[in-house]
Amino acid sequence: MNADQREERVKFKQEMRRRIDLIAVDYGVPESEVAKVRGRLKHHDVLNFAKKYRISLDWLICGDLKGLVRTIVARRA
């Protein structure tokens, strides 16, 4: 992995952690649960977190705003 790829990977993970933090604050998720998902960013943990809190994976992983809208609509339902 070259320096550019490493930098892109780090940026991707930081952005995803930021979105996890936003959900955690908004939904009142316990810090112990957030720390596990945010720290490791393992696929299985992220998927379970998204399912539990009905979060669009498009938004959580990719930052797609249409996914954020789906997340908001699902929360209101």
- pLDDT at position 61: 93
pLDDT at residue number 76 = 86
Q: How far apart are CA 11 and CA 32, in angstroms?
A: 24
Cα(65)–Cα(71) distance, integer angstroms: 10
Nearest Cα residue to 55 out of 11, 30, 22, 33: 22
Are the C-beta atoms of residues 40 and 17 closer than 8 Å to each other? no
CA distance 73 to 34: 22
Q: Which tens digits make up the pLDDT trace of 5-33?
A: 999 999 999 999 999 999 999 999 999 99
Whole-prediction pTM: 0.88
- The whole-angstrom separation of Cα 35 and Cα 45 is 11
Whether residue 1 has pLDDT greater than 90: no
Coil, helix or strand at residue 30? coil
